[in-house]
Chain A
Amino acid sequence: MFGYAARRVLSALPVALIAVTACFFILRLAPGGPFDGERALPPQTLANLRAYYNLDLPLIQQYFIYVWGLVRGDFGPSMVYNDFTVSQMLAIGLPFTLMLGFTAFVIGTVVGLLAGSLSALYQNKLPDYVLVLLVMIGLVVPNFLIGSILQLVFGVYLGWFPAGGWQNGSIAHLVLPVTVLVLPHAGRTARLMRGSMIEVLGTNYVRTARSKGLGTRLILARHAIKPALLPVVSYLGPGLSYLLTGSLVVEQIFALPGIGRYFISAALNRDYGLVLGTTILYMFIILAVNLLVDIIYAWLDPKVRYN
């Protein structure tokens, strides 16, 4: 088990390096630079700015300077946000995005598993139809639409929750954003769980257990859950990554201080340092989550371990 985990970690490092290199050079290929705005800067000012950010050095030299800084944990300066370094901005925003993502993940997974299992148990009866309908809505309606509707209904008309903002840890400010993130995730999880559970409930060993007289609850807990979880766990990895990196829209609508916004706005601003920093961070999140999933999978299904 430990050997397997160690091998997986080591194989992730070259992947990370290749991704960083590719990002670095592709970003520079894009037309336009960080200082191309609505006003032409006087050439001397432009020269000063470029010198300040090392942009006048040969590209390969800038690359090595950047990687060297990365190894020491320094993501470099942001070209647009002068009062903070990229590391500072990520350090402030990352815990928030992680918290938002994880909360939505936990709630969404639990809700999804419950809904999926219930659906499977009462297959083709009323609870199943109701749950499937809710799942479809959560999956099909885009998150910006759900977000705006929730904001209007609960924030403006009913006034139950704040319509946005972040008040340093207030739960009330998190309810709406987390709900928006939970819905599609719970939907997908429920659908997977339902399908997988239906399949498991139809297997021979479950039929044997039932014919032996075991109660439904015992069957579920002891015999059905683990195998039914397998397809779901495969999804949960990318699902978690998606939640952690896909909170951009929610952060925009509810004006939350996460790092999702930086990803897009920095790319549009050609803020090389911030884009690279955010990309690398997301890449590590995804690599870490995939690693975790592989390990959990190996734990759930011993057959995988011995390959």
Chain B
Amino acid sequence: MKFTQTLTAVATAGAMALLMSTAASAVTLNMMNGSEPGSIDPHKASGDWENRIIGDYIEGLMAEDANAEAIPGQAESYTISDDGLVYTFKLRDGIQWSDGEPVTAEDFVFAFQRLFNPATASEYAYLQFPIVNGSEIADGSVTDFNELGVKALDDKTVEITLEGPTPFFLQALTHYTAYPVPKHLIDKVGDQWTNVDNIVSNGPYSIKEWVPGSYIKSVKSETYWDAAKVQIDEVNYFVQDDLSAALSRYRAGEYDILTDIPSDQAEWIKTNLPGQDYFAPFLGIYYYVINQEKPPFDNPDVRKALSMAINRDVIGPDVLGTGELPMYGWVPEGTANYEGVAVYQPEWIGLSYEERVAEAKTIMEGLGYTASTPLQVQLKYNTNDNHQRIAVAISSMWEQIGVKTELFNSETAVHYDALRVGDFQIGRAGWLLDYSDPSNTLDLLRTGIAQGGETNWGNNYGRYSNPEFDSLMEQATKEQDLAARAALLGQAEKLAMDEYAAIPIYNYIAQNVVAPSVTGFVNNAADIHRTRWLTKTE
């Protein structure tokens, strides 16, 4: 019985292969997309795997080109007022939703209001807080949505007013939180608009099918204004969390693009799949945060010694195997709006590693920590093979300078909970930039804001607080001249890093694997590769 079943299966597989090779008139891209999308509603999404899907079926005022730079999208042109506060966008002619309804300025106004509406409970609304009254509507202090700084001057003109000059705003508009949503559809079916039977699109692709746990299928949208330039007809975003299995399926030809790889296979991929490895640094930092409310970590010398003793050059190439580059500063190289500021380097960058360890050891001995009376430290990280490898490596590096490390790992939710309430000494954290601007990472080090009797430290887990740093950051938000702003931010970075506000370790690397049949995939700092720029030859 099993034999005939196998025979049938083989026959079916063979027949299918034959069928698929003959029905190749539709160009299909198969992409491994990682986790199951929690939502394809741009106001409820939060992950890069959702971004890949959403950015293909909806287009905002600004879109991304193959290098992930902002280019006009649904807007054909824009003007910015002299004070940098008012952006006026003129929408293209003929843009429409896939059900034939035109895309109007009202869709954008409605979308931004819905984004900030507390009832929507959008996790990422804060990305658009530069818009006047955005944060006030989100926290309920302003209840009239018409006071939001997004207005439709007429059907084809959108006017956005900002709280302060924001040089990265055009780029922020490429993020899915700034996408329009179909007002006519949401008025009719409410939150069910993302149901496959209802959903419409104004972007290059339309969502056709969603099998939870398996894939989402999008097909080329003929109503898209630039449809003539879109080559790929169909794209399947597959759900697969198991990275080794994903690599196997890629090798079997079932995937054209892998968006993540098992890190211990990086070398293998570079050797055996030459030309298909697209590993490039992208805007994200991996760092250890030190709780500065707990002695002796409030002493910058202790933090300095800990930072000096880390041999960052071996972490990427040897500990991880994927070649991440060391980081000493807080703003990743390649971040926009930072021209004229040299990449931060500590004063001891010229010393060899042995010299650094020697100096660190001297510092620690001066404070009374030696090999026989070491400083006991607990290092927390969220459960993950790579975090563990790095933690083990770093704790042995610290042993040289009289520090004894206890490793403690917990699940992500528990880990960040602990960081947030300050229940840690040293903790691992990471930050992927939301948009290419130094303020995105520097904001992580601002003093907490007093709110109702408590201080909200946000993502500043280490509770680093320096009034001079805060003042520099404040000045930068008001500075219109990009060069002057960059200089202020550079000063702030230097101040914080000289005091070892946190210990950066490496710059993240995007790891994509792309089949030779696909062209147009360009490594970029945001790791965004919209399908409309890709072409596939069978």
Contacts and interface: CB of A to CB of B under 8 A. Distances in A.
Q: Is the interface of B mostly helix, strand, loop or mixed?
A: mixed
Nearest to A96: B213
B249 A164 contact: yes
A165 B249 contact: yes
Given A45-B122, A93-B213, A170-B16, A270 B413 contact: yes
A36 interface: yes
A238 interface: no
A77 B473 CA distance: 41
A257 B212 contact: yes
B13 interface: yes
B359 to A, nearest CB: 33
Q: Which of B39, B249, B459 has the most CB of A within 10 A?
A: B249
B9 A171 contact: yes
B411 interface: yes
Contacts of B6: 175
B138 A44 contact: yes
B413 A163 contact: no
A287 B118 CA distance: 42
A202 interface: no
Nearest to A172: B13
A305 B9 CA distance: 44
A181 interface: no
A164 B245 contact: yes
Contacts of B457: 40
Given A39-B459, A40-B459, A171-B12, A257 B249 contact: no
A277 interface: no
Contacts of B214: 165-166, 255-257
A45 B12 contact: no
Contacts of B13: 160-162, 172
A175 B9 CA distance: 7
A45 B246 CA distance: 35
Interface residues of B, number: 67
Contact of B413 (A33, A52, A84, A175): A33
Interface residues on A, range: 35 or more
Given A31-B414, A253-B245, A156 B252 contact: yes
Contacts of A172: 9-10, 12-13, 16
Interface string A30-49: 01111111111111110011
B105 interface: no
B1 interface: yes
B474 interface: no
A42 B414 contact: no
A254 interface: yes
Interface string B191-217: 000110000000000000011111100
Q: Which of A48, A49, A80, A270 has the most CB of B within 10 A?
A: A48
23 contacts: A31-B417, A32-B413, A33-B413, A33-B417, A36-B416, A36-B420, A44-B118, A48-B119, A52-B121, A92-B213, A156-B252, A165-B238, A171-B8, A171-B12, A175-B5, A251-B213, A252-B241, A255-B246, A256-B214, A257-B213, A257-B239, A261-B36, A269-B413
The 6 A-B pairs of least Cβ separation, nearest first, read: A257-B213, A32-B413, A44-B139, A82-B39, A163-B252, A257-B214
